[in-house]
Amino acid sequence: MAAPLIAMRWRLLGRSLRGARAAWVAALSLAGLGCAAVAAVLAADASHSGRTGLAVAFAVWGAGWLVVPLVGIGGRDALKPEHFARHGLTHRRLSAGLLGASMVGAGFAVTVLFFGTLAVAAAPLGPAALAVAVAAAVLTAVVALLGSKIVAATLAETMHTRTGAVLASLPWAVVAAAASNGAVLLVAVGRSGFLGGRWPAWLDGGVRSVPSGWGVGAVEAAGRGDVLGALAWVLALAGLGLALFSGWARFTRRRSSGPVGRTRHARALPVPAWADSLAGGALVKESRAWARDPLRLYHWFFALWFALVYCAIPVLAGTTAYLPWAGVVFGILAAAGAANLYGIDGTALWLTLMRPGRERADVRARQAAWLLTTAPVAIALTGAGLALDGPSVMAAWVVPVLVVVLGAGAGLVVAISVRAPVAVPDAHRRTTPAEDAGNTVGLVWAVIGLLAAAVAPSLALTAAGVLGWPPGAGAGLVCAAVTAVAAWWGPGRLAARRLERRGPELLDRLAGRAPSRTAARTAAPDPRSDTARVALGLSLGAGWTPIAMGVLSLVTVADGSPSSTAWTLPARLPARWAVLCALCLIAVGVFVYARAGRLVWSRIRSRPDR
């Protein structure tokens, strides 16, 4: 049973591992091998703390397997149980075959190697310990794989509900927020003495009690000559593997015996009286999509969790300075999450295209619905953050930025998604949001970068106010209001015009149709291919970071206040070097933006449909 499935998986891998994806997998595999080398060094340390370190590494690796399905890495070419529903297979045989097929691939091979470093720890202890280590390593890898499959299967079933979408966004948002605020997290970790070997007492037992640490327990038992103890650990791993297999087989049975029961009912809401107009009707339609579509909810709650965690982490390092920015971070992420607004609705766009003249109403309704779902929460978060941070000048910075982010966000979500939509499966064909959202990395970064650019003039005026030009603060607010209105109205108009003129081409993209040969001859090299889009988005999105660091550092140096966040890190240098470093950072940012701008301009010039 497993052989044909493994052969199918092998063939699918061969087809999908090409170009950028192959490079990506190769890079990840190399990084994994590097981690395995580090684990081998840890394994060579026979001390108790060395073993604890190895168990910590295993726990982190194992947790990675559980997180992988949440972030949608891999799985796109995976064989699904429903593909084999028509074959007369018992669900256990099918599950065993699918499990075998899942083991084909770089991810599992690297994981076996990673856990295989147990052999380095066991080798000096004799052949029996080595055998125990090898068995434990393989079993741990299988347990990690099965755990990952159960998370993926649970996600696939619960993600069809709104609650599932909300919960699924949480762990990924926490991981992303922690990674984004890594510097502050490291400060907190450094203060805790964790890196100096002063680990909390619970860690020793904790990392050995989770399944990833059972192999370490087995090797330690073998080292003590406790054969029965070593066998018990290995048997426990085998038992857990069987239990997980049994659990996963239940999911397989449900999925291979017909559609998973997921009858959902929309709340039968009456059409409100105020919606009895063209614009009102379109707004209610769009608002209901925000309230009911798990994919939209997933992105919205991701933004919320991210903002809360991102701004709360610095509290661990002793500063509340990020809290007032929670609303701004939420607004930015909510806009970034809606960067594929038109793409999310897929080919349902045809209904709009069959009603020419209504494009503007549709665009404005989408903008208004985004604002209605985002602005109240962003404002509430900002108010709460300012209150928790206590009296400070922070409000003078935060308020204009928030105003611009909300206005420009409402403009960008329609403009970007109409310009470069990413096709996603229709709602009734979706599995998990992470898999279904498509590769929107470029769009997300483009929105973040453009929002940062929109904020810059208001921030500059506000900075002037803080540095001693009294009208600066008021001018910053006025500039923010004007920017917000202009960045809402202008991109919205551009989006409507694009829909009117290039609606069928947009539908082509959403339907996944290849461009025609004629279009391919006359059009520029596809500027919206994944790689180009990601590169452009990253340039637009990342360019503001060094500029912001440079400007904030200059303000901090001029102000004479101490640097308290990673954004003003250069200000910790001696004044002369701090200024030089800040200017260099600004230059780097300007250079990145200039390159991105040049790329955009060359695309626009070479497109026949501009």
Partner 1 sequence: MTEDPGHVPGTASSRPGGGAFPPVPALHATGLRRSFGGTVAVDGVDLLVPAGSFFGVVGPNGAGKSTSLLMAVGLLRPDAGTARIFGVDVWADPVRAKRMVGVLPDGLALPERLTGRELLHYLGRLDGLDGASAARRADDLLRLFGLDGTGRTAVGEYSTGMRKKIGLATALLNAPRLLVLDEPFEAVDPVSGAVIRGLLERFVADGGSVVLSSHSMSLVEELCDRVAVIVAGRTAREGTLDEVRRGESLHDAFAGLLGASTANVEMPAWLRR
Nearer to partner 1, 198 or 267 (CB): 267
Nearer to partner 1, 224 or 262 (CB): 262
Between the two ends of the chain, the Cα-to-Cα distance in Å is 55
Instruction: For the CB of residue 178, give the shortest distance to partner 1 in the complex, in Å.
Output: 32
Instruction: For the CB of residue 344, give the shortest distance to partner 1 in the complex, in Å.
Output: 11
Nearer to partner 1, 100 or 281 (CB): 281
Instruction: For the CB of residue 506, give the shortest distance to partner 1 in the complex, in Å.
Output: 11
Which tokens sit at 282?
């379109």
> Which of 440, 391, 435, 399 lies closest to 538, judged by CA?
440
Which tokens sit at 203?
């860690």
| Residue 309 CA from chain centroid, whole number | 14
How big is the chain, counted in residues? 610
Instruction: For the CB of residue 363, give the shortest distance to partner 1 in the complex, in Å.
Output: 13
Instruction: For the CB of residue 402, give the shortest distance to partner 1 in the complex, in Å.
Output: 29
HEC string for 213-243: HHHHHHHHHHHCCCHHHHHHHHHHHHHHHHH
Q: How many CB atoms lie within 10 A of CB 469?
A: 12
Instruction: For the CB of residue 529, give the shortest distance to partner 1 in the complex, in Å.
Output: 13
Instruction: For the CB of residue 50, give the shortest distance to partner 1 in the complex, in Å.
Output: 54
Going 243 to 249 to 254 to 259, the CA torsion angle's sign is: positive
Nearer to partner 1, 108 or 350 (CB): 350
Check if the beta carbon of residue 164 is closer than 8 Å to that of residue 155.
Answer: yes
Instruction: For the CB of residue 425, give the shortest distance to partner 1 in the complex, in Å.
Output: 9
Nearer to partner 1, 194 or 276 (CB): 276
Give every CB contact of residue 34 below 8 A, 6+ residues apart in sequence. none
Nearer to partner 1, 47 or 518 (CB): 518
Nearer to partner 1, 275 or 590 (CB): 275
Nearer to partner 1, 145 or 283 (CB): 283
Alpha-carbon gap, residue 32 to 15, rounded angstroms: 23
Q: Which residue has the tokens 């933004």?
A: 303
Nearer to partner 1, 357 or 574 (CB): 357
Check if the beta carbon of residue 88 is closer than 8 Å to that of residue 170.
Answer: no
Give every CB contact of residue 11 below 8 A, 6+ residues apart in sequence. none
Nearer to partner 1, 30 or 511 (CB): 511
Largest CA distance in the chain: 82
Nearer to partner 1, 239 or 356 (CB): 356
CA distances from 422 to 291, 337, 432, 452 (A): 22, 13, 16, 23
Burial of residue 298, with CB atoms counted within 10 A of its CB: 0-12 exposed, 13-18 middle, 19 or more buried: buried
| Residue 596 CA from chain centroid, whole number | 23
Instruction: For the CB of residue 354, give the shortest distance to partner 1 in the complex, in Å.
Output: 5
Instruction: For the CB of residue 281, give the shortest distance to partner 1 in the complex, in Å.
Output: 4
Nearer to partner 1, 259 or 474 (CB): 259
Alpha-carbon gap, residue 67 to 73, rounded angstroms: 9
> Which of 422, 143, 466 lies closest to 299, judged by CA?
422
Alpha-carbon gap, residue 122 to 220, rounded angstroms: 8
Which tokens sit at 509?
């993209």
Which tokens sit at 177?
């927020």
Instruction: For the CB of residue 86, give the shortest distance to partner 1 in the complex, in Å.
Output: 17
DSSP 261: -
Beta strands in 467-572 (DSSP E): none
The CA R_g of the chain, rounded to the nearest whole Å, is 27
Instruction: For the CB of residue 594, give the shortest distance to partner 1 in the complex, in Å.
Output: 34
Instruction: For the CB of residue 17, give the shortest distance to partner 1 in the complex, in Å.
Output: 22
CA distances from 397 to 192, 236, 477, 559 (A): 32, 56, 9, 15
- Residues engaged in binding partner 1 (CB under 8 A): 263-269, 271, 275-278, 281-282, 284-285, 288-289, 292-293, 345-348, 350-358, 361-362, 426-428, 504-505, 507-508, 511, 513-520
Nearer to partner 1, 35 or 424 (CB): 424
